[in-house]
Amino acid sequence: MTTKGAASPWRDPVALLAVPAVLYLLVVYAFPLLWLFMKSLTGPTGLTVQPYVSFLSDPFNWRIVGNTLRVAGWVTLVCFLIGYPAAFALARAGALLQIVMLVSIILPLSIGAVVKAFAWQIVLRRDGVVAQLLVGVGIWDEPQRLLFTETGLVLGAANIFLPFMILPIYSVVKLINPRLSEAGATLGATPLYRFTHVTLPLTLPGVVSGVAFVFSMSVSMFVIPSLLIGDRFQTLSTLMGRSFLLMRNEQLGSTTAVILLVLAVSIVVGSTWLARRLGGSAT
């Protein structure tokens, strides 16, 4: 028995509901990105890849790429180390405590990054809370300045982006049956074995989402490094901003923007592929 060909999805009234969103994404995201890409390939004589050759042949630009990846990697790692256990605590907490924790995690998202970055300028000063705490516990003999240092940038950015690591992991952890770990214990599995073969594989979708969120925002942050470390520490995003706003070099800014986009997308795609490989090997 044969059936007629499938109807076009655009004839489905439900599919038409996606048209405003698609048009919005095309106008707000796709067209500007296409303009940046074409601008980066446009030279005095027409289309050319010379801007990319010039950018990648400069050792200073490779140092900027290294700064960008290193800071984004450290911020993502700090957020993961703090956010992973916090997501479990949030998922296993009682109803009242869970509400309090969710409010404390979500409420800071209503405050702009500029305000939080200025607040971290006060915290990271030589007479700030962090310096006084480290002196109090005996790690430092005298207060030291963390402001305008790479360590201070990582701490401030990790604080701002931490909710974007906790919430995706929490959304996955709350769906995991707590009795799975207990079942593994009754079969003689050690806590480390239960974590690496049961808990971690099940939470990988949330981990990948959190890593993708935090890394993509960390690799492209502009205001936070500008306020916490200044112009002497360059990243791809700050170089892009200076190219457009100060140097009025649209071609360099467009080239940097395209490289930044490719870098962020490659890391996100690579982390997704790695998570699938790890999830498949663990089953």
Do residues 226 and 145 share a domain?
yes
Residue 39 sits at the vertex; the CA angle it makes with 34 and 45, to the nearest 5 degrees, is 135
Same domain, 28 and 114: no
Tokens read off for 4:
């007629």
| Dist. CA 186–CA 194, nearest whole Å | 11
- pLDDT at residue number 9: 57
Joined tokens for residue 12: 């489905």
Residues 221 and 153 in one domain: yes
33 and 157 within one domain: no
Identity at 216, one-letter amino acid code? S
Q: Are residues 97 and 130 in the same domain?
A: yes
Rounded to whole angstroms, the Cα distance separating 42 from 59 reads: 23
Contact between 146 and 252 under an 8 Å Cβ cutoff? The reply is: no
In a domain, 41, yes or no: yes
* 126 lies in some domain: yes
Which pLDDT belongs to residue 57? Answer: 94
**b/e map 241-259, b = 16+ CB within 10 Å:** bbbbeeeeeebbbbbbbbb
Q: Is 125 within the bounds of a domain?
A: yes
Same domain, 86 and 193: yes
100 in any annotated domain: yes
Within a domain: 8? no
Using alpha carbons, select from 211, 204, 263, 208 the residue that is nearest to residue 237: 263
Q: In which element (H, E) is residue 46 found? A: strand 46-47
Same-domain pairing of 43 and 70? no
> For the chain, what is the domain count?
2
Same domain membership, residue 66 and residue 43: no
Question: Which tokens in the block code for residue 175?
Answer: 């769906």
- N residues, the chain: 283
Domain contains 54: no
Q: Indicate whether 53 belongs to any domain.
A: no
Q: What is the CA radius of gyration of the chain?
A: 23
Tell me: do 233 and 119 sit in the same domain. yes
CATH code of residue 180: 1.10.3720.10
Residue identified by tokens 């401030």 is 156
d(CA 95, CA 91): 10
| Block residue for tokens 């969120």 | 213
The Cα 91–Cα 110 span in angstroms is: 22
Q: Are residues 121 and 41 in the same domain?
A: no
Q: Is residue 148 part of a domain?
A: yes
Per-residue pLDDT of the chain (283 residues; tens, 9 = 90+): 445 555 555 567 777 888 888 899 888 888 888 888 888 888 777 788 888 999 999 999 999 999 999 999 999 999 999 999 999 999 988 889 999 999 999 988 888 888 898 889 888 888 888 888 888 888 888 888 888 889 999 999 999 999 999 999 999 999 888 888 778 778 777 888 888 888 888 898 889 889 988 998 999 999 999 889 988 889 999 999 889 888 888 888 999 999 998 888 887 788 778 767 765 554 5
Place of tokens 């599995």: 189
* CB-based contacts of 63, cutoff 8 Å, min separation 6: 234
Do both 23 and 139 map to the same domain? Answer: no
Query: Are 271 and 212 in contact, with CB atoms under 8 Å apart?
Result: yes
Report the pLDDT value the prediction gives residue 169, as an integer from 0 to 100.
Answer: 94
Q: Give 11's DSSP letter.
A: G
What is the span of the domain harbouring residue 20? 13-48
Q: Could you tell me if 67 and 28 lie in one domain? A: no
- 43 DSSP β-pair partners: 46
Count Cβ atoms within 10 A of the Cβ of residue 140 and give its class: 0-12 exposed, 13-18 middle, 19 or more buried: middle
